[in-house]
Amino acid sequence: MMWFSRISFGLIAVLCVGAAQSSVWEESTVVPVRLDPASRDNEPWRSLTAEEKEKEAEMRLYRLDVFGKQLVLQLEPDQNFLAPGFVFHVVASPESRPTQEPQRSGAEPGCFFSGTVNGEEHSAAALNLCLGLTGGFYFQGEEYFIQPQNASRPQGGEQD
């Protein structure tokens, strides 16, 4: 009976590896296009309140033409990404030279946005807009991840 359980476990492990290898990630390079909020274009006769103008000014719209689809990310600032008192530490090697200007870490207030894709109620987007678009979104049953192209390159190494 012991040999049967070993063979069964081995067969299950091989099937899981095969299943994991069959899921293929598609990858594409896209240039996000920032759009202007168009609320006034839809209703030119309506004037906005000061609060609505402020909210519109904070809103970010990005169009992505990818995988044969046109996706519009409708994003608003979201202060709930980081817990109050969150501390972000950057550790550098002793050989690194200090820079004249402090570098942005991407964890500053005002970097994090969330929203929807193409205005679809069942979609979701969560991105960091500092230092490029980084994050993910869910749309029509598909998960998408986005990062600046240079973020995946090794730091300090050769680049093509």
Q: Is residue 3 part of a domain?
A: no
Q: Is residue 92 part of a domain?
A: no
Number of domains in the chain: 1
Q: Is residue 4 part of a domain?
A: no
| DSSP symbols for 88-135 | ------TTSPPPSSPPP-S-STT-EEEEEETT-TT-EEEEE-TTS-EE
Q: What is the mean pLDDT of the chain?
A: 72
Q: Is residue 91 part of a domain?
A: no
Q: Is residue 66 part of a domain?
A: yes
CA 120 to chain centroid, in Å, comes to 17
- pTM confidence score: 0.62
Which range marks the domain in which residue 137 is found? 31-81+103-149
Which residues on neighbouring strands pair with residue 63, listed in sequence order? 33, 72
Q: Is residue 121 part of a domain?
A: yes
Q: Is residue 115 part of a domain?
A: yes
Q: What is the per-residue pLDDT across 85-110, written as a single tens digit (0 to 9) for each?
A: 777 666 766 666 655 555 555 567 68
Using pLDDT thresholds of 50, 70 and 90, give the confidence band for residue 5. very low
Is the Cβ–Cβ distance between 75 and 114 less than 8 Å?
A: yes
Q: What is the per-residue pLDDT across 20-78, written as a single tens digit (0 to 9) for each?
A: 344 677 888 889 999 987 654 566 667 878 887 777 778 899 999 998 999 999 999 98
